[in-house]
Amino acid sequence: MLVLKLNETTPARRRVPIHLVDATDGISPELGEAAGQPQLSKNGATAGNTSATLVSVGNGLYYVELTQPELDTPGFGVIRYKSVETAEAQVVFQVAAFDPYDATGFGLSRLDAAVSSRSSHSETDVKTQVVEALVTDTYAEPTVVPVATASLKDKIGWLAALARNKIIGEGSQQRLRNDADALDIATAQTSDAGGQSIRDKWL
């Protein structure tokens, strides 16, 4: 579908092509319709005569060059033409609030030339935040066993607790204590079978 810019200022970019054929056989190109009067409907409104008339390109192809005010309504437009000699012809086009001729950014006001400028954080800022997350920020020790799909933060916290906290073995059970040695973080069942010492999952 032909796309025209809303309120296009360049005349040549306001041209809508239309191919006309003979009313009798519906196939043969109609050659004598230069200066014929097409009609325009804007986004479903009642059709009215266009400001300009048809210009012949040749071999049944014509165009009408719309005016800027005729492209002031976003949505679909329809150019219609019918004469005694020609069959009914209609061309549907779209009026859009972007510029299809702008290869850089479609003329959209919220697009920058450089994508990097859309971010308010520089590369240095990002590096600083990463260092703060790894070196400066602190995280509470886990109170439960992290699930298999837990975050990296929770998994590292669990490994730290497992490495530094007290583990109490009682009969067929081990208990992982918290840093204050006041509560159990988790328990695991232990057993001996076939010469192997087995510790089940921490729960």
For residue 24, pLDDT over 70 is answered with yes
Q: Give the residues across from 89 on adjacent strands.
A: 81
For residue 2, pLDDT over 90 is answered with yes
For residue 105, what pLDDT is reported? 80
Percent of the chain with pLDDT over 70: 94
In this prediction the pTM is: 0.56
Tell me, rounded to whole angstroms, the distance of Cα 71 from its chain centroid: 27
For residue 18, pLDDT over 80 is answered with yes
Tell me, rounded to whole angstroms, the distance of Cα 89 from its chain centroid: 36
Q: What is the pLDDT of residues 42-88, one digit of tens each?
A: 999 999 999 999 999 999 999 999 999 999 999 999 999 999 999 99
3-state helix, strand, coil in the chain (%, to 5): 20, 35, 50
Asked if 27 and 21 touch (Cβ cutoff 8 Å), the reply is yes
| Domains within the chain, CATH numbers bracketed | 2-96 (2.60.40), 140-199 (no CATH)
**161 three-class SS:** helix
